[in-house]
Amino acid sequence: MPARRSPQGNPDFIAGLGKGLAVIECFDDEHAQLTIAGVAAKTELSRAAARRCLLTLQELGYVDYDSNLFRLTPRVLRLGYAYIASSELPQIIQPHLERLSGQIRESCSASILDGGEILYVARAATKRIMSVSLGVGTRLPAYCTSMGRVLLAALDPDEAARRIASFRRTPFTPHTRTRKEELADILHGVREDGYCVVDQELEIGLVSMAVPVLNHAGQTVAALNIGAQSARVNAGEMAGRFLPALLAAQKSLRPLINKTAPVTI
């Protein structure tokens, strides 16, 4: 992720802090270990600046170093936990997720939008439905997930299109929709329907359906979904079997988050 620049010369912007956060964010599942040159390339910083940031983060305990390779340490989890612990949204949603999951006997999750990705903030799992483990803090692409499309559909269409265009759209399966024009049409349908079903676009065998979580003003603050194996429930059956329960959870949550601003970053 490129280092953030001061927006329009904002005198309060701390460039060093922006660079340090960019260095932390450039590590991901495909780049768990990086050299100084690799960090410099991903953040668009000079090698000298990348080195200073990495050594500072190492001194603070957020980065470890071995054989010219840097990696994040578990201390970084404190940053994410601070959000979970201080935000009322996950705490409000979690018991409703657990009730919904117990009712329908399927795994349920909630997420917010962060750039072009969704960030899981709550989850109630009955079984493992994906080859990768899902939990609070997991990030997935927004363009090919049911929660991501619900959250993108809540944005202004131009902003949604900008986010889709700015992120790499990988075809994870033969079913993945990646064309910008097609995704724009899908988001239009999600806005009209009020829910989204995704059929094996992220992983073969996985189907999911999501609805927005709304506050008292009708603003989308998160997304709520149900995930299931296509061998048990095909995509065409999702709405008939699960939409009433999702909408009931949506309705029960709405009066509880009347002070929560829309959570899209």
The better pLDDT of the pair 10, 95 is held by 95
The pLDDT of residue 233 is above 80:
yes
What does the pLDDT read at residue 138? Answer: 84
First-to-final CA distance of the chain: 15
CB 39 within 8 A of CB 71: no
What does the pLDDT read at residue 32? Answer: 87
Domain 7-76 sits in CATH 1.10.10.10: yes
CA dist 182 and 155 (Å) reads: 17
Element (H, E) at 99: helix 88-104
CB 185 within 8 A of CB 157: no
Which CATH superfamily is 87-257 part of?
Answer: GAF domain (3.30.450.40)
pLDDT digits (tens, 9 = 90+) for 74-93: 888 777 666 666 578 888 99
What does the pLDDT read at residue 8? Answer: 59
**Structure-block tokens of residue 3:** 């280092």
pLDDT digits (tens, 9 = 90+) for 4-30: 555 556 777 888 888 888 998 888 877
Q: Between 15-25 and 36-43, two packed helices, what is the crossing angle to 10 degrees?
A: 110
CB 250 within 8 A of CB 97: no
Least confident segment among 128-137, 196-205, 207-216:
128-137
User: b vs e for 236-248, b when ≥16 Cβ sit within 10 Å of the residue's Cβ?
Assistant: eebeeebbebbee
Phi and psi torsions of 157, nearest 5°: -55, -35
- Going by their DSSP bridges, the two strands 107-114 and 69-72 should be labelled as unpaired
Parse the chain into domains and list their residue ranges: 7-76, 87-257
What does the pLDDT read at residue 139? Answer: 87
pLDDT digits (tens, 9 = 90+) for 41-77: 999 999 999 999 999 999 999 999 888 899 988 888 7
CA dist 154 and 151 (Å) reads: 5
CA dist 238 and 234 (Å) reads: 7
The pLDDT of residue 177 is above 70:
yes
**Structure-block tokens of residue 49:** 């600046």
